[in-house]
């Protein structure tokens, strides 16, 4: 039997990955600055050793042999995921991987200055180099995956994703969203914004509030922590999940909803199938599924009047808040404020998909060679004006606002919006299946909702594609109409 040998090999690879995630977490939270180079060296050697394991010469043969062995359904899915990792690791020449890695490091560094100084011309050669090498990587992978080069890039984040499917979903969105934004803004203008609680809100109190809300959502502190970092993230392993956030002492909601977002990621990791804990099939499915779990709590559940009432209650206790600004309704109105804005990461859930659709179209065109880098700033500004209704005055608030392209994260953007739609669809399906969920949330009981997610999403690991998980869990394909109904009910109801 080759399959057990393969499981042993992959177990070691995943243990190396697990060790790496701890080192990464430490580097982003506690590590003194002077330790950066030493840490980079440690992580590089673990990555190299992990790469060596997945490119061991006999691995292809073992995979081929295991194909003819008697395996159960999970093992077969695991074997497919093993093959996927092996193909992705071996199909791109090492020299190309290294050249791209260096180009990305340089471009990312230059981007920090270029964004600040609105200097697109200064970044352009470095950006072009990243695009060229990224395209080559996509081309090398495309043959092996039977996909287009852009799809091969997508596949890193969203295994099995196809542009035809994304076009269907994004096309559906674009058909109603710009018009819906206009209606929501009109509707919103009829009610004045409620006042905001006055700070300062000390970081220590915010941390305490964050912990209480995490516990409310079902986070198990016996198997995890929360800490502070420059950018919020979720790291660690299912038995020891580490989420981080940052605190704004003037507005506690930004940190708090960051905590809720990361808690959603953490609950997903915690619910992955234990039997395949250190195997490819036991991992989270991909970026859109992961994002669906963070957004399900941040954007769906925590923004229902029912659960927000419990969260607002915790906030009042934490800060001793009283008066109109502290009421659930006031907090909800502020959390649901919609605006045509320039910066993606600050966008509300109604306009956000339009930011993403633009980036998806542009990056696809660049990979296909249909859009030259020099034409990106204009195409970006035109697209923003047409889709979101505002025009960036410079590249800093335009096409250079995000790190993704300079950092080599091509094919990542679509997963944000796929995740948002998936979250809406899961939440609707969960309530349809368990109609008492809203009432439970109103009592601060999240177990019925979490239970549905564990059963239909978390425990599925990477056994099927994101599309199949959605279809199995909700009975239909990802459907922009469900997202539309969600927005209309919430913003026009």
Q: Which residues make up the interface to a copy of itself (CB under 8 A)? A: 12, 15-16, 18-19, 22-23, 26, 30-35, 37-39, 41-43, 45-46, 49, 220-225, 236-240, 278
d(CA 171, CA 176): 9
- Residue 329 annotated to the active site: no
Please identify, using beta-carbon distances, which residue of 51 and 225 lies nearer to a copy of itself: 225
User: Residue 276 CB, nearest distance to a copy of itself (Å)?
Assistant: 14
User: Residue 240 CB, nearest distance to a copy of itself (Å)?
Assistant: 3
Please identify, using beta-carbon distances, which residue of 159 and 236 lies nearer to a copy of itself: 236
User: Residue 272 CB, nearest distance to a copy of itself (Å)?
Assistant: 13
CA angle 231, 233, 239 (to 5 degrees): 150
The residues, any chain, with a CB within 8 Å of residue 455's CB and separated by 6 or more, are none
User: Residue 223 CB, nearest distance to a copy of itself (Å)?
Assistant: 4
- Residues in a beta bridge with 240: 237
CA end-to-end span of the chain: 60
Distance of CA 245 to CAs 207, 222, 235, 248, Å? 9, 19, 12, 10
Distance between alpha carbon 456 and the CA centroid of its chain, in Å? 19
Please identify, using beta-carbon distances, which residue of 10 and 257 lies nearer to a copy of itself: 10
d(CA 245, CA 224): 14
Report whether 302 contacts 224 (CB < 8 A).
no
User: Residue 82 CB, nearest distance to a copy of itself (Å)?
Assistant: 18
The helix (run of H) or strand (run of E) holding residue 241 is strand 240-245
Please identify, using beta-carbon distances, which residue of 49 and 182 lies nearer to a copy of itself: 49
Please identify, using beta-carbon distances, which residue of 15 and 94 lies nearer to a copy of itself: 15
Tokens of 33: 């600055």
- Catalytic residue (one of 158, 262, 291, 363): 262
Question: Nearest CA to 268 among 160, 88, 426?
Answer: 426
Length of the chain: 493
Residue keyed to tokens 């990056």: 363
Q: Could you list the active site residues? A: 262
């Amino acid at each position: 039997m080759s399959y057990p040998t393969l499981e042993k090999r992959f177990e070691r690879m995943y243990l190396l990955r697990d060790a790496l995630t701890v080192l990464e977490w430490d580097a982003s939270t506690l590590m003194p600055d002077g330790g950066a180079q030493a840490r980079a060296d440690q992580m590089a050697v673990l990555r190299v050793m992990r790469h060596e394991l997945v490119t061991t010469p006999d691995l292809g043969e073992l995979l081929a042999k295991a194909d003819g062995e008697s395996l159960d359904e999970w093992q077969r899915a695991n074997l497919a995921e093993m093959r996927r990792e092996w193909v992705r690791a071996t199909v791109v020449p090492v020299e190309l991987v290294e050249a791209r890695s260096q180009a990305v490091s340089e471009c990312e560094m230059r981007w920090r200055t270029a964004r600040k100084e609105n200097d697109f011309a200064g970044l352009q050669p470095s950006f072009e180099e990243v695009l060229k090498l990224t395209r080559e990587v996509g081309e090398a992978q495309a043959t092996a995956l039977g996909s287009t080069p852009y799809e091969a890039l997508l596949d890193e984040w969203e295994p099995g994703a196809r542009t035809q499917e994304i076009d269907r979903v994004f096309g559906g969105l674009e058909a109603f969203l710009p018009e819906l934004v206009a209606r929501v803004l009109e509707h919103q203008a009829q009610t004045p914004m409620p006042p905001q609680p006055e700070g300062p809100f000390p970081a220590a109190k915010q941390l305490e509030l964050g912990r209480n809300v995490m516990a409310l959502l079902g986070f198990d502190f016996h198997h995890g922590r929360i800490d502070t970092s420059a950018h919020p993230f979720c790291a660690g392993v299912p038995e020891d999940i580490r989420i981080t956030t940052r605190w704004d002492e003037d507005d506690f909601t930004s940190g708090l909803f960051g905590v809720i977002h990361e808690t959603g990621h953490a609950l997903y990791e915690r619910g992955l199938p234990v039997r395949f804990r250190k195997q490819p099939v036991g991992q989270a499915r991909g970026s859109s599924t992961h994002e669906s779990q963070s957004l399900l709590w941040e954007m769906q559940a925590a923004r229902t009047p029912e659960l927000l009432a419990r969260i607002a209650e915790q906030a009042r206790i934490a800060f001793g808040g009283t008066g109109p600004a502290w009421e659930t309704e006031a907090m909800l109105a502020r959390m649901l404020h919609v605006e045509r804005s320039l910066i993606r990461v600050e966008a509300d859930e109604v306009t956000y998909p339009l930011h993403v659709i633009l980036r998806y179209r542009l990056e696809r065109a660049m990979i296909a060679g249909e859009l030259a880098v020099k034409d990106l700033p204009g195409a970006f500004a035109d697209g923003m004006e047409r889709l979101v209704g505002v025009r960036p005055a410079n590249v800093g608030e335009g096409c250079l606002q995000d790190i993704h392209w300079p950092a080599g994260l091509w094919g990542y953007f679509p997963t944000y919006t796929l995740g948002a739609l998936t979250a809406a669809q899961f939440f609707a399906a969960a309530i349809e299946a368990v109609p008492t969920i809203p009432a439970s949330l109103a009592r601060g009981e999240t177990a019925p909702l979490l239970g549905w997610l564990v059963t239909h999403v978390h425990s599925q690991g990477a056994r099927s594609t994101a599309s199949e998980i959605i279809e199995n869990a909700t009975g239909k394909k990802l459907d922009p109409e469900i997202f539309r109904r969600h927005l209309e009910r919430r913003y026009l109801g």
